[in-house]
Amino acid sequence: MALRNIREEGDALLLKKSRPVTDFDRRLHILIDDMRETLINADGVGLAAPQVGVLRRLVLVMDTSKEELTPEEQIIELINPEIIKTSGSQEGPEGCLSVPGVYGLVKRPDYVKVRAQDRHGKTFEVEGTGLTARCFCHEIDHLDGHLFTEISERILSEEELEEYSKKSE
């Protein structure tokens, strides 16, 4: 496994639409394993393939609600993911490994159900609420070339961000 370089805002590749994954081969598995390592190393909660320079529909989302699991075990691998159901709404701070140090207020559904394929091509469904739901939306947006800064109502100051983290404790 190897760490991959995370592209940052201003890189034109982040604004492109990713193509579906068609080959569930060793090359894909190496990419996924590298992305897993990169995500853990960056201490993030999600990572999309275009962020490491690969325009394919593949994302990792960490289900941080499963507190009994290790970070590595919390990672959900989603290939060719599609949001099939949403409900409710939440508003809160959102950040991105490609936009380091910046957090914006973003509205997202509070519940999201995703249909995707696993690394062997098998279709499955997964659901999440709160941060996990937010992360599903955020990562899948990356596959269509969208960053949270486009839909953020406003960027939060450090003081505001602190207030939010106090509230969630």
Shortest spacing between CB 149 and Ni ion, in angstroms: 10
Please give the full DSSP string across 145-156, using - where no structure is assigned. T--HHHH-SEEP
Q: Is the CB of 17 or the CB of 122 nearer to Ni ion? A: 17
Binding status of residue 49 toward Ni ion by CB under 5 A: no
Q: Is the CB of 79 or the CB of 135 nearer to Ni ion? A: 135
- Name the segment binding Ni ion (CB under 5 A); options: 3-11, 52-60, 76-84, 89-97: 89-97
139 is catalytic: yes
Q: Are 32 and 77 in contact (CB under 8 A)?
A: yes
Shortest spacing between CB 68 and Ni ion, in angstroms: 26
Lookup result for tokens 């499963």:
66
CB atoms within 10 A of CB 157: 10
Shortest spacing between CB 138 and Ni ion, in angstroms: 5
DSSP helix/strand/coil, 36: helix
Q: Are 112 and 46 in contact (CB under 8 A)?
A: no
Provide CB contacts within 8 A for 141, sequence distance 6+: 147, 148
Binding status of residue 75 toward Ni ion by CB under 5 A: no
Shortest spacing between CB 95 and Ni ion, in angstroms: 8
Q: Is the CB of 52 or the CB of 96 nearer to Ni ion? A: 96
- Name the segment binding Ni ion (CB under 5 A); options: 12-20, 61-69, 92-100, 114-122: 92-100
Binding status of residue 96 toward Ni ion by CB under 5 A: yes
Which of 8, 67, 127, 139 is catalytic? The answer is 139
CA distances from 161 to 13, 15, 79, 92, 154 (A): 29, 26, 32, 9, 12
Of 150, 153, 141, 152, the C-alpha closest to 47 is 141
Active site residues: 139
Residues at the contact surface with Ni ion, assessed by CB under 5 A: 96
